[in-house]
């Protein structure tokens, strides 16, 4: 037996207990209700996180503002896209679609989520997909290194970065609104007249993989109970996914965003007296806890020398997925873009989404 085979047998058996809190499902149902109006026509609402109460009613938008972007290709339409998030933040990104796509010729849609501390990327990166026949959306994650700010106000400070923003409560934690932004982006894409809402694919690396899993899970779980959900996520590719099995990820990380917690504890809690409370908050955002809700086929990749998202944490997610799934381990890769995986992505989405 090779070293790789031994390692994969060990990782294949790793399925830790989910760390969901008793109100995990209700917490996310209430969050989803914020961005989907009820069947009775009652509008959604904005939450005052400090007061823990509704601050104002709000009509959530699922309509992109699209601005033509001159680009020397006749087969693809390129737009600058913006979307008002449920807290009023203007999310910005790119939207590309085949020139022949329209209401009478609907095409599958893709959403690409970017990695931690990155942004929506370049038009050229998205052409790979638009030229295959997909409508593709790529938008900034709020507050990170793009053109989208984070309009929220947090009740306490944080270490440099976004991992420790709003740790006082799950209601306030940074990724709560990021997950809702992701759902809103997907729903907005699904409602485009040229997009087939039943053929939506999600993908991304690292943080992007986490957002793909979380949003696919939320849409699948509440599709039958929350009116207004039209997006059907038909396939997910989660590359070297971040934010999984969070406590183990923190214990085993060698670099990457988890280092923010090293400094946070040093400065705010040097004896880890609040450690349990902090990881209880984080459990609401641990994508391992979302995995059983994902219903569509999922392709996962893992770098077996990854020290930012240690391989066991990725297998924890994978082993809790209950539907059709495949994981591709790359023995000699760390936390990095894996060029060899792009062909796997193309084949995966073509089989699941193209007709």
pLDDT, tens digit (0-9, with 9 covering 90-100), for 59-100: 788 999 999 999 999 999 999 999 999 888 999 999 999 999
pLDDT, tens digit (0-9, with 9 covering 90-100), for 97-136: 999 999 999 999 999 999 999 999 999 999 999 999 999 9
| Ordered per-residue pLDDT tens for the chain, 355 residues | 788 888 999 999 999 999 999 999 999 999 999 898 764 454 555 555 555 555 556 678 899 999 999 999 999 999 999 999 988 899 999 999 999 999 999 999 999 999 999 999 999 999 999 999 999 999 999 999 999 999 888 988 888 899 999 999 999 999 999 999 999 999 999 999 999 999 999 999 999 999 999 999 999 999 999 989 999 999 999 999 999 999 999 999 988 999 999 999 999 999 999 999 999 999 999 999 999 999 999 999 999 999 999 999 999 999 999 999 999 999 999 999 898 899 999 999 999 999 7
Catalytic site residue 341?
Answer: no
pLDDT in the model for residue 40: 41
Catalytic site residue 335?
Answer: yes
Q: Is residue 163 part of a domain?
A: yes
Q: Is residue 8 part of a domain?
A: no
Mean pLDDT (the chain) is: 93
Q: Retrieve residue 36's tokens.
A: 């989907």
Q: Is residue 311 part of a domain?
A: yes
Catalytic-labelled residue, pool 206, 215, 244, 283: 206
Output b/e per residue, 81-104; b: 16+ Cβ within 10 A: bbbbbbbebebbbbbbbbeebeee
Catalytic-labelled residue, pool 114, 253, 320, 335: 335
Q: Is residue 9 part of a domain?
A: no
Q: Where are the beta strands (DSSP E) in 99-178?
A: 107-113, 135-139
Q: Is residue 5 part of a domain?
A: no
Boundaries of domain holding 262: 14-353
Catalytic-labelled residue, pool 87, 140, 181, 306: 306
Q: Is residue 7 part of a domain?
A: no
| Nearest alpha carbon to residue 292 among 327, 318, 256, 328 | 318
Contact criterion met (CB below 8 Å) for 286 and 258: no
Q: Is residue 111 part of a domain?
A: yes
Contact criterion met (CB below 8 Å) for 98 and 189: no
Burial of residue 69 (number of CB atoms within 10 Å: 0-12, 13-18, 19+): middle
Q: Is residue 6 part of a domain?
A: no
Q: What is the CATH number of the domain that holds 274?
A: 3.40.50.1820
What's the total number of domains in the chain?
Answer: 1
């Amino acid at each position: 037996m090779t070293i790789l085979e031994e390692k994969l047998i060990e990782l294949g058996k790793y399925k830790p207990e989910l760390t969901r809190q008793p109100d995990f499902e209700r917490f996310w149902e209430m969050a989803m209700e914020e961005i989907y109006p009820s069947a009775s026509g009652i509008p959604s609402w904005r939450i005052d996180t400090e007061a823990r109460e509704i601050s104002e009613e709000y009509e959530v938008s699922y309509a992109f503002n699209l601005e033509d972007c001159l680009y020397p290709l006749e087969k693809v339409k390129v737009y600058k896209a913006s979307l008002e998030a449920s807290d009023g933040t203007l999310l910005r990104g790119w939207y590309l679609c085949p020139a022949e796509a329209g209401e009478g010729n609907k095409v599958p849609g893709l959403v690409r989520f970017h990695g931690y501390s990155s942004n929506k990327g370049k038009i050229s990166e998205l052409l790979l997909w638009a030229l295959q026949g997909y409508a593709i959306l790529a938008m900034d994650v709020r507050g990170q290194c793009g053109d989208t700010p984070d309009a929220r106000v947090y009740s306490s400070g944080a270490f440099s970065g976004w991992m420790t923003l709003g740790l006082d409560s799950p209601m306030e934690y940074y990724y709560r609104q990021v997950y809702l932004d992701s759902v809103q982006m997907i729903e907005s894409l699904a409602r485009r007249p040229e997009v087939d809402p039943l053929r939506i694919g999600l993908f991304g690396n690292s943080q992007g993989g986490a957002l793909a899993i979380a949003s696919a899970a939320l849409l699948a779980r509440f599709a039958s109970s929350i009116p207004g959900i039209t997006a059907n996520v038909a396939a997910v590719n989660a590359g070297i996914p971040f934010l999984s099995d969070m406590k183990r990820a923190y214990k085993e990380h060698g670099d990457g965003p988890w280092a923010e917690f090293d400094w946070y504890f040093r400065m705010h809690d040097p004896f880890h007296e609040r450690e349990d409370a902090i990881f209880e908050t984080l459990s609401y955002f641990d994508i391992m806890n979302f995995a059983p809700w994902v219903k569509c086929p999922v392709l996962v990749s893992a770098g077996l020398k990854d020290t930012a998202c240690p391989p066991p944490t990725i297998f924890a997610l994978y082993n809790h997925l209950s539907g059709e799934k495949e994981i591709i381990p790359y023995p000699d890769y760390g936390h990095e873009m894996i060029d060899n995986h792009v062909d796997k992505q193309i084949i995966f989405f073509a089989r699941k989404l193209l007709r």
